[in-house]
Each structure stands twice: as structure tokens, then as C-alpha cells.
Amino acid sequence: MTGLLTRPGVGAWLRSVVPGLRPGVERLAVGWIDVVPAGGPVPTPAGWEASLTAAVLGVGRAGDLHGRVGESFVVAAVLPAGEAGVGGWRDRLSYVVATQASASNLHASLGVEATDDPAADPESLLQRAAAHART
């Protein structure tokens, strides 16, 4: 309905992508977005959720991960190896999230975790990205 995967879909997407990673050629970046009211008037949940959902869906390409885990949003993409690929992606995502959060009187924090290890544990990637969002 929203175009976002739920927790089971997020896990399935990560489990399907991680084993195919090619070290030195590509990296998987996982972004975790926490959103909380910043104080003052906050739009109705349906309003800000719809706006942030649309903004998150606008980041990346078809086939990238766009999901929702509880109250948080998850975005992931396979990118070219090197910090420039992940760094540019993180910058675009950060800009979109900050712009949308500001327009909705919300505070959003972004955590990003990246790997090129085809043996990485998908759940650990999510947990580390979430931890980065909360620090």
C-alpha cells in the first residue's frame, strides 16, 4: 500500500543481496532513519508519514530497498566500491531526510552501515545502522 517493505520483506531483501556482493567491486549501504517530533505543532502522523515515505521512495533506483521497521525507515542499495559511492548515497539520503523532517517539524536521525562482505549477517547490518542513527 505504501510501497515500503515490512520487516520480513526487509530481511528477505538483505538476505538475497548480501551473498552476491563482490568485494572490491561493490558495497551494500544500509540506512536507518529514526523520526521523532521536534516540538511545536506536528502534522498528523498520516501527513508526515506520507511525505517522508514519498521522499524515501524517491532516493535510489528501482530495485533498491525501501522499507519500514516499526516506526523507523530503512533504505539500502548496492553501490560502487569505495567511499565515494557510499558517501554520495549517504549525502543524498541525509539531504532528503533532513529537508522533509524540517518541513514537517520533526527531528530525523540517519545511521548508515556499509559492507562488501558476502558473509555479513543482514540482521547485524540493520542493528549497526540503527545504532549509528541513535548516536
Residue 120 half-sphere exposure toward CB, CA atoms < 13 A: 26
| CATH superfamily, region 7-133 | Reverse transcriptase/Diguanylate cyclase domain (3.30.70.270)
Residue boundaries of the structural domains of the chain: 7-133
**What pLDDT, on a 0 to 100 scale, did the predictor assign at position 1?**
52
| pLDDT in the model for residue 39 | 65
Q: How confident is the model over 66-91, as pLDDT tens digits?
A: 999 988 899 999 999 977 789 999 99
Dist CA 41 CA 24 (whole Å): 47
Mean pLDDT of 17-25: 97
Is the per-residue pLDDT at 8 higher than 60? yes
User: How many Å apart are CA 105 and CA 3, to the nearest integer?
Assistant: 24
The answer to whether 75 and 56 have CB atoms below 8 angstroms apart is: yes
Global pTM reads: 0.89
Does residue 11 carry a pLDDT above 90? yes
